[in-house]
Chains A and B, each alone.
Chain A
Amino acid sequence: MSELTKLTIGAARDALRRGEVTSAELTEACLGAIEGADALGAFAHKTPERARGMAAAADLRLKAGDAPDLCGIPMGIKDLFCTRGVESQAASRILGGFKPEYESTVTSQLFEAGAVMLGKLNMDEFAMGSSNETSAYGNAVNPWRRGSDDTALTPGGSSGGSAAAVSADLCLAATGTDTGGSIRQPAAFTGITGLKPTYGRCSRWGIIAFASSLDQAGPMTKDVRDAAILLRAMAGHDPKDSTSADLAVPDFEAMLTGDIRGKTIGIPREYRMDGMPEEIEALWAEGRKMLEDAGAKVVDISLPHTKYALPTYYVIAPAEASSNLARYDGVRYGHRATLAQGDGIVDMYEKTRAEGFGPEVQRRVMVGTYVLSAGFYDAYYNRARKVRTLIKKDFEDAFDQGVDAILTPATPSAAFPLGAMEEADPVQMYLNDVFTVTVNLAGLPGISVPAGQDRDGLPLGLQLIGRPWEEGDLLNVASSLERAAGIVAKPDRWW
């Protein structure tokens, strides 16, 4: 594999501007790496011709001296983003063959900045999953293995393809989306950096909706600096998304001073779960020490409603999904079932949705339908919205006490084998999001940073949670943690 694909955005940007490399060369290197990596299942749709065209255009801009940070940077785009003229099907059969006539706001911004799209990345169907095993494209596979054991591991989910592609150096960076942990958990499982911004920071327009009050797009990158660079390009107000924030987007990269002296970091006692593996506990303690050594003040805090976050999420997310996914009816786009003689329109809806949605999506749509149905709306949906208010208040109280950021483990374990959860009930899989889902419910920014390895050499991540709209400060604390952890390990190429 070419060394070029291993570059960070920051290093590639500087080399491009100095004329030491061209976008065409970077793009060819990535396309070559992608060609040799089908075993990872990361790219669901490859767009090499488009990539070459975009690279040529970027090289002209670079020559002309008009080069935003992302100009000429080859990236992968999660399949959840609508990209004009390119398959965008949320890894679902029900959107088979769908080629949007429009471009999502986030990808428009990236392409206007000169980013090069290499293709669309695998994911869990409609972003519902924590292992990338619900995809209509088949599994994405983690580039990491347990030492010499060749058991295929999950890259996490739902942004599993994005995580695998960045970790395996198939692209310089990728977009992800995060509804309950779908950027941060796969980032932790593959040893990369993943940031979920504050709700409203990035426009959701043109991103296929799962749970609209929780969904947020964000960067998945090789380091914290790249997350800062990419977030700036993805973020910003968009009149087409009424929940996008009309706030200035700061230069996040310029805020990476690495100086966190005087910052207060909270350690929430409720995140110490029964049965948490010792390695995760040890990693968390180590992270605490790293931040202390860097001059931060570390305090114990309480987020009393933490244990109710997952059940709250599994009311609100399915409820919103059942509403959002009602649009897939076989009329306007995507799959329509073949009908029998005499079938009416309801048969068409029911058969289309039974054929088009996979089991996990069907399950969540039906659970959402149930909690919103007459007689249960108050007991489930309204109650969950009230508990959500309490969960958010827990964080507000902590921030009011002067806490600048909160440190937690990113996941309750390292990456697990593909297929390992097949026999488990759905709730077991949901537990993967135990440390991340609170952040979506409270609308806060959260970042997963590679911080250690387990006994088999698999990557482990720590999560930092920040105040709303203060991604710059959060990234700065993350960069301090990144430097102290000093993780340089990469997966050995087997694919």
Chain B
Amino acid sequence: MTAIDTATAARVAKLARIRVDDDALPALAQEFGAILGFIEQLQEVDVEGVEPMVSVTPMRLKRRDDVVTDGGMAETVLSNAPDAREGFFAVPKVVE
């Protein structure tokens, strides 16, 4: 099993923007260890000269003209917001 310490678990939780209580970190680290240990098998595959997959179906992505195709529906866009005011999404203060 790959060992993951609680500091690493805390760092990953922070990066993922998920609050994890300190007392839950050891269990989380252990779960990470189990999963990463499982993934570790990939190190034994010879991938010399192999291209990383970008698209599973060999197709060119379609292009279109860079023009506005939709819009003008602020109210609709805001209709599911937990907090919307005066045509904007409202969030806690960001700038001091």
Spell out A's residues near B (CB within 8 Å): 97-101, 198-200, 213, 239, 242-243, 245-246, 305, 307-308, 310-312, 314-315, 322, 326, 329-336, 339, 343-351, 353-354, 357, 362-363, 365-371, 373, 379-380, 382-390, 392, 425-427, 430, 441-443, 468
Contact = CB atoms under 8 A, between A and B. Distances in A.
A76 to B, nearest CB: 23
B17 A350 contact: yes
Which of B18, B32, B59, B62 has the largest number of chain A CB atoms within 10 A?
B18
19 contacts: A101-B73, A311-B39, A311-B42, A329-B17, A333-B82, A346-B17, A348-B91, A354-B19, A366-B28, A366-B32, A369-B12, A371-B39, A373-B12, A383-B42, A390-B50, A426-B34, A427-B34, A442-B56, A443-B57
A311 B38 contact: yes
Contact of A353 (B17, B76, B89): B17
Contacts of A385: 52-54
Nearest to B56: A443
Contacts, number: 168
Given A200-B59, A370-B32, A390 B47 contact: yes
Contacts of A315: 39, 42
Given A334-B80, A345-B92, A427-B35, A198 B57 contact: yes
B23 interface: no
A202 to B, nearest CB: 13
Given A242-B61, A385-B52, A314 B35 contact: yes
A348 B19 CA distance: 10
Interface in B26-63: 28, 31-32, 34-36, 38-43, 45, 47, 50-57, 59, 61-62
Contact of A305 (B18, B40, B45, B56): B45
Contact of A322 (B16, B28, B54): B16
A386 B50 contact: yes
A308 B50 contact: no
A346 B93 CA distance: 10
A425 B16 contact: no
A353 B19 contact: yes
Contacts of B56: 199, 213, 388, 392, 441-443
B64 interface: yes
Contact of A426 (B16, B31, B45, B73): B31
Given A339-B92, A366-B32, A349 B82 contact: no
B22 interface: no
Which of A99, A368, A383 has the largest number of chain B CB atoms within 10 A?
A383
A218 to B, nearest CB: 16
B74 to A, nearest CB: 12
B66 interface: no
A365 B50 contact: no
A4 B50 CA distance: 54
A382 B39 CA distance: 13
Contact of A392 (B15, B35, B53): B53
A494 to B, nearest CB: 36
B94 interface: yes
A315 B36 CA distance: 9
Contacts of B94: 344-345
Nearest to B90: A331
Given A213-B56, A332-B81, A370-B36, A389 B12 contact: no
A430 B35 CA distance: 10
A376 to B, nearest CB: 9
Nearest to A244: B62
Nearest to A237: B62
Nearest to B81: A332
Nearest to B47: A386
B85 to A, nearest CB: 13
A343 B93 CA distance: 9
B35 A101 contact: no
Contacts of A427: 34-35, 38
A344 B93 contact: yes
Nearest to B61: A242
A208 B81 CA distance: 17
B20 to A, nearest CB: 7
B57 A199 contact: yes
B38 to A, nearest CB: 5
Contacts of A369: 12, 15-16
A379 B83 CA distance: 41
A433 B73 CA distance: 42
B84 to A, nearest CB: 9
Contacts of B45: 305, 308, 383, 386-387, 390
Contacts of B76: 101
A389 B50 contact: yes
A357 B20 CA distance: 12
A437 to B, nearest CB: 13
B59 A388 contact: no
A345 B83 CA distance: 13
A312 B42 contact: yes
Contact of A370 (B12, B18, B38): B12
A287 B13 CA distance: 47
Nearest to A102: B76
Contacts of B38: 310-311, 314, 427, 430
A332 B89 contact: yes
B59 to A, nearest CB: 7
B42 A308 contact: yes
A351 B51 CA distance: 39
